[in-house]
Structure 1
Amino acid sequence: MILPAQRHLFDLPDDVTWINCAYMSPQLHEVSEVGKEAVGRKSRPWLLRPEDFFTDSEALRKLFARLVDADADGVALVPSASYGLAVAAANVPVRVGQRLLVLAEEFPSNVYPWRELAERAGGQVVTVRRPEDGDWTRALLEELDERTALVAVPHCHWTDGGLVDLVRVGQRAREVGAALAVDATQSLGALPLSVAEVKPDFLAAAGYKWLMGPYSQGYLYVAPRFREGRPIEHNWLMRGGSEDFTRLVDYRDDFQPGARRFDVGERSNFVLVPMAMAALRQLLKWGVGDVQETLRALTERVAKGARALTLEVPPETQRAGHMVGLKRRGGYGPDVAAKLAARKVFVSVRGDSIRVSPHLYNTEADVDRLLEELDAIV
């Protein structure tokens, strides 16, 4: 279902065309109000009870689990995708000579931990080259064989939305005994994903883009076979019996159940957690499938107009519907994004693409304004 424009729910000036959600989402009014109220709680610490260190974080865990079709025990609360991927790198076994697959021009947070792991374990990071036809799934499957210990991929490429079929990649990874780690930061909340179907070993996502939440609140899903793994830090909340503040000095070796052992310290953040809860509730109310359908209509309008300007656009079948990369033969000048920003039209340049990433606060008029300004400067 195509959703009606939701601009009234966001704090966006009328003269700003923000078509750059892949950079950062504007904040929902409700999320801002929840945040202001939450900041005030710190002024009254006598009202914070021991159970408050658990109640909201568990509610947030359940909301995220609903979003990705997971069990709440499989969800860890982390500050960033990079933290979640570091947890994965600390637990995925790699033998000498095995390969770790990443995409060309991947976001750094999904490259650096695997380089370190390969160096530590004697493995090899193999970069899958960008396919000329845009079919990342085929390119990955051609490299994914019995030599592979790990596949580290996004759901869609962060520079232009190039799509990866995670179900097919995950199935092949299991066939050859490889682990699957997914950085879903640039898709989760705008592109439907079920961990029950994909079956990733680890799936991490930052919360401040398509999940509409505050900066420094992220999520990590961990498959059952890794839930007894090694955390990358040790905090009191992750330990068994931490609900009883009077017995915290009775040090325990056991952990809270499931993926909670991977929670970041101070995961009960009394400002960020309520804000993230409000954001996820709104996403669930919209429905991620309907968000994707609505945004695809906008990016198709972008693609059609861009082609008329002789810009190159990935095929619709090979990209996600919520973002699109526009390339130009010979490239763009170094200040193309700044020129658009001076006209109060905001996009990002990533790699050699202008990345256009609308959300429900955008309309066809925003797309037409972008195309008009592009025509004037490129």
Structure 2
Amino acid sequence: MILAPQRHLFDIPRNICYLNAAYMTPLTKEQHRAGQEALSLSMHPWEVSADDFFPVVEEIRSLAGQILNADADSMAIIPAVSYGMATAAKNLPLAPREAILVLEEQFPSNVYEWQSLADKVGGEIITVATPKDDDWTTAVTEVLEQFGNRISIVALPHVHWSSGAALDLVCISAVCKRIGAALVLDLTQSIGAMPIDMQKVDPDFAIAGGYKWMMGPYSLGVMYVAPRWQQGKPLEQNWIARKASEDFRRLVNYQSDYQPGARRFDMGERSNFILAPIYREGLRQLLEWGIENIAETLMALNARFAALALDAGFRPVNAAYRGPHLLGVHIGTAGDELLMKLKAANVSASVRGDTLRIAPHLWIDEQDEAVFASAIKV
């Protein structure tokens, strides 16, 4: 279902055309209200009880699980993608001369950890070259077939962060399982904007920062941990992840057991009394709209933006391979000049390398489209 513009839910000035959800999503007015209430509560810590440390976080876990078609027990609360990648690297085996596969120009948080792990054990990084036709799925599967069981870990995004080209994770996961490679996903540029099903993909770990398409605040995110890894080693040892942490009177009765499921992987101070209510409201709003409805609406919107870019002489990423929500436009060496023209028209977008990244969301309406159409032709 195509959704009507939802601009009324946001505080976006009428003269701003914000096409930069892949950079950061603005909070809704309702999230702002939730944040104000959370700040007010923090002024009165005597009103915060032991029982307040758990419910909001558990709602976040459940809501994120619904978006991913995953059990709430499989969701961990994390502060950043790098935290989740470090957790995955701590648990996944890599032997000397085995390899980790990544994409060319993949986002750094899903590269640095793997470089460090490879250096530590004497492993290797194999980088899949950018396909000229934007078909990352074929490019990845060909490399997987070429190197076979030399590859121990496959660390990928769902959507390339600069071009918006999407990968078929179900197809790639099947190849990973056949060659015995673990699959680690960075879902930051897809979760919340396009359907993703953990039951069908079955990755080992799937990690996402929350401040982009999940409509959350900066410094909160989630990590899916497959049941086969839920008895693994957490990155840190914090009190709230341990069994019976709900009973504050007996916290010094130290526990060797953890809370059930993926909770052992939660970050310390996960209860974040200010940010957590904001995040919960963003997830609730996404589910109210419906992820499939969001994807369908943004796909139609980006098809129109792609046509405008093509008319202006630029080449959009192949429609057959791009995600519905994130449109990369190949602009060659015109990046600085084009960005200046867009900025002059109060159009906010990003340039990554030689690609203009257009990332609208449901606040975009016909007036915004008209502003972009005029600016891209200048």
SS across alignment from 1:305: helix
Answering whether residue 59 of structure 2 is matched by residue 59 of structure 1, we say yes
Is 1:109 matched up with 2:109?
yes
Paired residues for 1:242-257 under 5 Å: 242-257=245-260
Report what 1:152 is aligned to.
155
Structure 2, unaligned runs of 5 or more: none
How big is each residue's C-alpha offset from its partner over 1:26-66, in whole Å with a ceiling of 9 and x where there is no partner? 11010010000001111111111111111111111111111
Question: Which residue is equivalent to 2:87?
Answer: 87
- Judge conservation of contact 2:74–2:226 (CA < 8 Å) in 1: yes
Quick check: 1:105–1:351 contact (8 Å CA) kept in 2? no
Query: Does the CA-based 8 Å contact 1:186-1:210 persist in structure 2?
Result: yes
Q: Is 1:262 aligned to residue 265 of structure 2?
A: yes
Which whole-Å CA distance do the structure 1 matches of 2:318 and 2:370 have between them?
20
Q: Give the share of equivalent positions with the same residue, in percent.
A: 46
For 1:1-378, list aligned pairs within 5 A: 1-144=1-144, 145-329=148-332, 331-334=333-336, 336-376=338-378
Q: Secondary structure at the match of 2:316?
A: coil
Distance of 1:244 and 1:333 partners within structure 2: 56
Q: Matched residues in 1 for 2:266 and 2:180: separation?
A: 27
Is 2:5–2:364's contact at 8 Å kept on the other side of the alignment? yes
SS state of the match for residue 318, structure 1? coil
How far apart are the structure 2 equivalents of 1:371 and 1:226?
A: 49
- What do you get for the CA RMSD once the two structures are aligned? 1.1
Distance of 1:61 and 1:338 partners within structure 2: 41
Secondary structure of the structure 2 residue equivalent to 1:254: coil
Q: Deviation per CA, 1:155-180, whole angstroms, max 9, x where unpaired? A: 11000110100001111111111010
Residue 336 of structure 1 and its aligned partner are, at CA, apart by 3.4
Q: Deviations over 1:129-159 (max 9, x none)?
A: 0011111000000111211111111111000
Instruction: Measure, in 1, the Cα distance between the counterparts of 2:323 and 2:335.
Output: 26
Asked if the contact 1:306–1:312 (Cα under 8 Å) also holds between the matched residues in 2, the reply is: yes
Amino acid of the structure 1 residue aligned with 2:65: A
Question: SS state of the match for residue 270, structure 2?
Answer: coil
Runs of 4+ in structure 1 deviating by more than 6 angstroms, as ranges, are: none
| Aligned residues between the structures | 375
TM-score scaled by structure 2?
0.97
Q: For residues 264 and 143 of structure 1, what CA distance do their matches in structure 2 show?
A: 35
Could you tell me the TM-score, scaled by structure 1's length? 0.97
Alpha-carbon shift at residue 335 of structure 1 (Å): 5.0
Q: Structure 1 regions of 5+ residues with no counterpart?
A: none
CA distance in 1, matches of 2:67, 2:329: 30
Distance 2:353 2:103 in 1: 13
Offset at residue 333 of structure 1 (A)? 4.5
Q: Any idea what SS the aligned residue of 2:228 has?
A: helix
- CA deviation string 1:205-235 (max 9, x = no partner): 1111111111111000000111111111111
Kindly state the Cα deviation for residue 337 of structure 1 after the two structures are TM-superposed.
2.3
Contact 2:176 2:183 (8 Å CA) reproduced: yes
